[in-house]
Amino acid sequence: MFDWGPLTITDEETGDFETVNYISRQLQKTHDKPFFLAAGIYRPHLPWHVPQKYFDRFPLDSIKMPDTYENDLSDLGPVAKEIITRGGNYHKHVIEADQWKKAVQGYLASIAFADEMVGRLLHALERSAYADNTIVVIWSDHGWQLGEKMHWRKFALWENVIRTVMMMRVPGNLEKLPAGSAKGVATTNLTSLLDIYPTLVDLCNLPERDDFDGISLISMLAKPK
């Protein structure tokens, strides 16, 4: 699974493209009741295999590598050091095979491919009858180290691992949000993926529940600052 490289196939031949096509077809149908759709884009999950054109966007001589320092592990305790080598000591093998820069290229190519798929989904929504009354949430599960601190995967509590993508787009005609609420604004407030569900429950006027730990982000959506 810990592998990367370009494929001589088209976007249309990938599983993620099939997912996008399925969701796009649902958006073209006539629905007489509110509906929920979930689209799981597999990339940039391992292995980082996507069509060649996405690798071409990131020539190896343009790749910015993670910062590394001499004695970079001197401030780590035994558990943090054990996490580095857990599951096969990825960094050691990447260095020995001279694959570090190519691995970063594969990750960037996979992100670019995922962006293309998400763009296709949003374009399908824009062309549908539901463009103006659909809540859109885009999120990822975790970040990656890519060799920083000699660490590659998840499992650690470094900031670039626990920070994830989370974006919400709420139609302006929802009564839960005041008129003139901010749009296209980033916030530095602390959030959690656990907050997605209670936020949707709140926005959709569904019955309140008290059996989960997340909180509604409606107030933050209205005033992100």
Tell me: the pLDDT tens digits for 8-57? 999 999 999 999 999 999 999 999 999 999 999 999 999 999 999 999 99
98 domain-assigned: yes
180 domain-assigned: no
pLDDT in tens, 125-178: 999 999 999 999 999 988 888 999 999 888 888 888 888 999 999 987 666 777
Helix (H, G, I), strand (E, B) or coil at 70: coil
160 domain-assigned: no
How many CB atoms neighbour CB 208 within 10 A? Answer: 9
Tokens 């929504």 appear where?
Answer: 125
Q: H helices within 14-87, ranges in order?
A: 15-28, 52-56, 78-85
91 domain-assigned: yes
Q: Which helix or strand (DSSP H or E) is residue 93 part of?
A: helix 90-96
116 domain-assigned: yes
- Rounded Cα distance between 160 and 107, Å, is 14
- Rounded Cα distance between 205 and 176, Å, is 8
CA dihedral 118, 45, 11, 98 (to 10 degrees): 130
220 domain-assigned: no
Residue 111 is predicted with a pLDDT of: 97
Listed in sequence order, the residues at least 6 apart from 50 whose beta carbon sits closer than 8 Å to its beta carbon are 6, 7, 14, 43, 109, 110, 112, 113
pLDDT in tens, 66-109: 888 889 899 999 998 998 888 888 999 999 999 999 999 999 99
Residue 216 is predicted with a pLDDT of: 93
Which pTM does this prediction carry?
0.92
pLDDT in tens, 62-78: 999 988 888 989 999 99
152 domain-assigned: no
Tally of domains in the chain:
1
Which residues form the domain of 126? 4-132
The answer to whether 222 and 182 have CB atoms below 8 angstroms apart is yes
Residue 222 is predicted with a pLDDT of: 86
The answer to whether 47 and 3 have CB atoms below 8 angstroms apart is yes
29 domain-assigned: yes
